[in-house]
Each structure stands twice: as structure tokens, then as C-alpha cells.
Amino acid sequence: MVRLRLLLITACLCATLAAWQPPPLPSAIPGSQLVETSRVDGPLEVRAARADSEAVLAGLSYTRQRYSAPRSILVDAFVVTYRDALFAAGWKLLDVPRLDVKPLPEGIVNVGAQYMNNGRNIYARISRAPDGAYEINFADVGAEDWAGALAKGCRVPIHSLHFELNRPALRVFESTPTLEKLASLLKASSAPAVEIQGHMDNVGESGVAERQQLSEARARAVAEWLFARGVPTAKVSAKGYGKARPIADNDTDLGRALNRRIEIACQPVG
């Protein structure tokens, strides 16, 4: 009976996701009640940092939907329901708890994913609290107005560019939609000349030189991708700032992830 109920819920979510085009946003589990919808300034943490990979952040802001706990949906059923529904709808899964490890982790359980089809670039994190209440969070990076943000503040953090752990190599598959959006922005005749800035987290005084070099190499990697896709070299320069310009506390994984970023900033005139 539990298995049948799980299959029916998953099928319902899959059908809903397939029908929502565009965008194919995750939907609520039947029986849930929407408690609150809000807009959160700042990037969405789709996946926390791990020993073998950096955190995945995305967006300048994101939407948060809070739901009451659905009846009789346990942790493993919750994970399987969203994992299978997202995968069936064409999402790339970025963070899924292992269900073959017992007991399951205590606390908040997350399922993170990215949708890159049909010209979209959307990130989602579905988070279940121990009492069964949950959130659906999503950042629509493809819909963000970077041109407007650049014109207004002359600086835009691009969190959805992902790199290999402690290396300058871009994770090209996940980063391509963001790189293409950035290239389109900079090819426009109205776009200003920009500096691609690499910034890093704080790993202690012994890591100053290494973090500086890595920030420079990451900025160059982004610039070289843009040049290869037709962005004029006169429009782009690259510079690394190491860990000299933090925007968050370096004492937490999330703070370090926020500091470890690529920004584009208008080049000074003259």
C-alpha cells in the first residue's frame, strides 16, 4: 500500500512537472498546504560544500515556498518522490541523499537539481524539516536581468559558474547556460567593457599566494571561454583578487562559498 501510494504521488508530480512548460518548477506533494511564498535576496545554496566538491550556489535571488507537512510521507518516500519526478521532467540532480545508508541523516534533508532544457536555466532545492514541513526553493538564473543590474550598480556576482574543487577548470556542462547568457550580454553593443573578477574564500595566511593565483586563473578561464564564443577582447579583461574582498563570514561553509565567486564589474573609463 505504501509503495502504491508513493508511485501514485510520483506519477502525479511527474505529470504536473511535464505540464508546466515553461518553466517546469517542482510542485507540492498532494495533501500539502501552502503556508507562505517569499522572495529571498541573495543566491540559493543548491548543494552545500563537500570534501570532494565546492558548494553549488545560483541566482541573485530566489523564490521560497513553505508547505505544511503532508500526511504519512516519510523521509525516504519524500526523497524518492522528488528525485524521480525531477529526473523524469529533465532536471539534472545535483544533491540527493543516499537512501541505502541507515539510519537516514537527522535534521533537514535536501534534494537539489538544475534544469537546462528549452533555453531555461533554473536551480531548485527542496528541503524537508524533521517535522515533515518542507520548502520548495528555486532560482531562475536565465530570467535574471543582468544588463539592468550592471547598468544600475556596475557589478554583478555570477554565482552559477561552477569549478572543480580548488582548480581553475570550469565545470562546463553545468556552467554553459550561464556562460552563454554572459556572452550574449557582453556581445550587445550597449554593454560596457567589463572586468571578470575572481574572488576566493579565506583558507589562512599560508594560502594567500595560492588563493590569489587560483582567483586569477578562474577569471582567465571565464574570459577565454567568452573570447572563444565571439565576445570582443576589447570588451573583457580578467583579474584575480584572491581573498582580499570577502562579502560574507569565512567561518561557515556558506560564507566561504559566497566569497568564492566570479563577478563582472564595469571597467573604469579613461
- How many whole angstroms separate alpha carbon 225 and alpha carbon 231? 9
Calculate what percentage of the chain has a pLDDT beyond 70: 89
User: Do 201 and 210 meet the contact criterion of CB atoms below 8 Å apart?
Assistant: no
Rounded to 5°, the CA angle 158-39-153 comes to 40
Each residue's pLDDT tens digit, 5-64: 444 444 455 544 444 444 578 889 888 999 999 999 999 999 999 989 999 999 999 999
Which of the residue ranges 5-14, 142-151, 179-188, 225-234 would you say has the lowest mean pLDDT? 5-14
Q: Which of 192, 183, 264, 270 is nearest to 234 (CA)?
A: 192
Each residue's pLDDT tens digit, 213-258: 999 999 999 999 999 999 999 999 999 999 999 999 888 899 999 9
Q: Which of 241, 207, 35 is nearest to 132 (CA)?
A: 35
Cis peptide bond prior to 157, omega within 30° of 0:
no
To the nearest whole number, what is the mean pLDDT of the chain?
Answer: 88
Is residue 270 very low, low, confident or very high in pLDDT (cuts 50, 70, 90)?
low
Report the predicted TM-score, pTM, of the whole model to 2 decimal places. Answer: 0.89
Is residue 207 very low, low, confident or very high in pLDDT (cuts 50, 70, 90)?
confident
Which of the residue ranges 21-30, 141-150, 172-181 would you say has the lowest mean pLDDT? 21-30
- How many whole angstroms separate alpha carbon 68 and alpha carbon 58? 26
Is residue 205 very low, low, confident or very high in pLDDT (cuts 50, 70, 90)?
low
Amino acid 98: pLDDT: 85
The DSSP secondary-structure symbol of 68 reads: P
Q: Which residues of 70-106 are buried (b: 16+ CB within 10 A; e: fewer)?
A: beebebebbbbbbbbbbeebbbeebbbbeeeeeeeee
Domain with CATH 3.30.1330.60 in the chain: 145-266
The DSSP secondary-structure symbol of 189 reads: T
| Architecture, CATH, for domain 145-266 | 2-Layer Sandwich (3.30)
